[in-house]
Amino acid sequence: MSKAVDRDALTSRTIPQITLSKGDVSSMTPPPIPPSASLAAAERAQQRFSVTGNAIITGGAGALGFAASRALLEHGLSGLMIFDVNPGQAQAKIDELAADFPAAKIRATKVDITDEIALNEAVVKTAAELGSVDSLFCFAGVVDCTHAIDMEASQWRRTLDINTTGSFLCAQAVAKQMIVQKTGGSIVFTASISGHRVNYPQPQASYNVSKAAVLALKNCLAAEWAHYGIRVNSISPGYMDTILNEGDGLTATRKIWNDRNPMGRMGAPSELTGIVVLLASSASTYMTGADFVVDGGQILF
């Protein structure tokens, strides 16, 4: 009987609807203000890719996150908060950044990105300490290489919990803060070419699915949050030359990756920083819901 009542109730339900921005000067998505005509060409070029405000970077102690942090600071970022499950391991890198950029506020805090309550508290604390949260870059994540036939449910859930749910919770917490600030901002997920194609030769079903889900999540949030002035994009790196892809045990696999890449090599962490700066700067104010593949052409084959 209860099932019949529940089914009948479907015909009388109402559902929420996405609100789109009007795009006029009174909205959170107005057309850009042209740069002053009095500026010299070099000043206009510098202003185009200048980065203002404060950013949160998850996984900022890793090679990709650290390279992104340095690039953003080089382009004018005022404050940086690194979210890490073990910030003590990042202290040497944080000290290095603080020495190189003494005018910036650079901090780190311990956060488990799958803990909703801790995340919300950390974002509010960051806003209080830095003054605002204007950008979020999600680099925290895990990789799992297991044959699907042998994978345990706990392995599957852990990968999706960190890579997909963790990315969502970070974005949600930061979006709430941006809405309170009424400033809008930029949220950038780290997806992967693994969300576009099946990897070879390593089996990575849980990782591939988690990153494909991030791509779908990016689309959904870009549509829902545009009227708040929040842009949501993603970067899909290819195989990057980091500690995750080092070791004698990966020599044969690295050769396969390189041989199947038009550019014949893996990417350097610094080669992601151009798109990082773009997405944090005013040069990307009309970009949302986009994914930027940086892979040397790996997914062409």
132, 186, 192, 236: the active-site residue = 192
CA distance 128 to 130: 6
132, 207, 210, 218: the active-site residue = 207
- 189 three-class SS: strand
Taking CB atoms within 8 Å and a gap of at least 24, the contacts of 259-262 are: 260/200, 260/298, 260/301, 261/295, 261/296, 261/297, 261/298, 262/296, 262/297, 262/298, 262/300, 262/301
User: Quick check: is 281 catalytic?
Assistant: no
Give CA angle at 141 (254, 195), nearest 5°: 65
- Asked if 232 and 175 count as a contact pair (C-beta separation under 8 A), the reply is no
211, 218, 234, 236: the active-site residue = 211
User: Quick check: is 192 catalytic?
Assistant: yes
235, containing H or E segment: strand 230-237
Instruction: State the DSSP code for 78.
Output: -
Which residues are marked as active site?
A: 192, 207, 211
